[in-house]
């Protein structure tokens, strides 16, 4: 069995921190843990699948693609089948989601969700 290098382990810990903060922020926004779990399930099982099928060019910006891009050594190659090439066949474009890009996208989404939750908590519960 191959051993993971320390960089991959560190990125795994970073992904775990992002997931925990997203869960906290979403639960803080909704104030119901069950509803937050339901929203997470609907997002990953329904919304991302629909976006991948209807708008394949948006796949590099989805959370699951960026999570895989964060963990994979060197990033993740995403093949986007959205245009007909000069041969008349559907030829894929290759988009590489690098570790840095994936970390920045996940970090920004996490910051927005947690920031909105903290703001609404402060506004709703302290006044």
Taking each helix axis from N to C end, the angle separating 63-71 and 99-125, rounded to the nearest 10 degrees, works out to 130
Q: Break the chain into its structural domains and give their ranges.
A: 18-122
Closest C-alpha among 127, 77, 124 to residue 102: 77
Q: What is the pLDDT of residue 127?
A: 55
Q: How far apart are CA 73 and CA 69, in angstroms?
A: 8
Residues of the chain with pLDDT under 50: 1
């Amino acid at each position: 069995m191959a051993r993971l290098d320390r960089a991959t382990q560190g990125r795994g810990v970073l992904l775990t921190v992002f997931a925990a903060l997203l869960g906290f922020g979403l639960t803080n926004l909704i104030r119901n843990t069950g509803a937050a779990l339901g929203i997470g399930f609907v997002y990953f099982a329904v919304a991302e699948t629909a976006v991948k099928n209807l708008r394949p060019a948006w796949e590099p910006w989805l959370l699951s693609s960026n999570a895989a891009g964060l963990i994979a050594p060197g990033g993740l190659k995403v093949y986007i089948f959205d245009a007909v090439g000069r041969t008349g066949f559907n030829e894929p474009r290759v988009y590489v989601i690098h570790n840095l890009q994936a970390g920045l996208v996940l970090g920004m989404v996490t910051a927005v969700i947690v920031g909105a939750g903290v703001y609404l908590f402060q506004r709703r519960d302290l006044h």
